[in-house]
Amino acid sequence: MCVEPRRAPVRRALLLLILALVSGCGTMRYGVPPRVERLDELQPGLSTTADVLLRLGEPRGRGAVRLTRAEPMRDVFLYEYVEADASGKARLKMLLVLIRADRYDGHLWFSDELLLRPAAAGGGGGP
Amino acid sequence: MSVRGTRGGGWVRAAAALWLAGALLAGCAPAPVLTTGEFPALARLDTVLQRGRSTRADVERLLGFPAGRGHVLIPIGGLEGRGWAGRDVWYYEDIEATGMDKARREGSVTVIPLRVRQQVLLVLFDGPRFDGYLWFSNAQRGVGHVR
């Protein structure tokens, strides 16, 4: 195989990625698992945005939500993690954090059971 | 899964040959190109389950054992009221990476578009009782980056 010298590292990395994906031997991951076990350290209406960032880290994305017409607009922080295994099956763990007037104002998280640690807090109520 | 190169294709052919050899030697199964998975019958949610009355057992009977769980803390009370309601969440998923498209260069980054099929159903419980659901799906593509 002839490869231009300056492109060789890139092509080598690409080759490895393709090999890993198509051979069914690799696991693809992106994002960082949301730290849902730290949600209990936040108090709705009291904890600040800085408290959220300190405990949960920098969000992967941001958004906004208006739950009902009577409710004010809230900011949304998005945390997510995806893992795809050799068979092509993917597992997802996602956390949305609501922020109102610089205060933590609620959350929604869900996760594939395999991505959960035994000590995951904040309820969940498994079957 | 077909893999195509943009120029020459020599290295792609070599990769394909290596993959075949590697897969045979390692005994690994190739990733699926396109499959369909089982997913709960959403149309029956509204007809079979009753908010505030149906139980977790009813939900499991209809939808099967959940793939995971979660929790929601919802602000309630409008502009002046301050309160939050917690709900347990059962998580049903059907997510599959079904393949990838031709890689392309974007500056110093190689982008590999991945085809991902995703369906998510969240069932909410107020204590032991069914309290609603949220469903969403995507037909978008994820991307992998090689720097």
Predicted confidence (pLDDT) at residue B84 exceeds the cutoff of 70? yes
> What is the model's pLDDT at position B28?
46
Say whether pLDDT at B46 is over 60.
yes
**Structure confidence at residue B86 (pLDDT):** 94
pLDDT of residue A35: 95
Query: For residue range B1-12, what is the model confidence (pLDDT) as tens digits?
Result: 333 333 444 554
Q: Please name the residues between 33 and 52 in chain B that touch chain A, using a CB distance below 8 Å.
A: 35
Average pLDDT, chain B: 72
Per-residue pLDDT at B107 exceeds 50:
yes
Residue B96 above 50 pLDDT? Answer: yes
Residue B1 has a pLDDT of 31
pLDDT at residue A40, as a whole number: 96
Interface of A with B in 62-121 (CB under 8 A): 67-68, 70-72, 74, 82, 84, 86-92, 98, 100, 105-116
Q: Residue A13: pLDDT band by 50, 70, 90 thresholds? A: low
Tell me what pLDDT residue A26 has: 63
A70 to B79: CB separation less than 8 angstroms, yes or no: yes
Place of tokens 């347990």: B88
Return phi, psi of residue B28, to 5°.
-85, 145
Higher pLDDT, A3 or B71: B71
A79 Cα distance to chain centroid: 3
Query: What residues contact A111, with CB distance under 8 A and at least 6 apart?
Result: A34, A36, A92, A93, A94, A120, B68, B69, B70, B91
Helix or strand holding residue B47 (H, E): helix B45-48
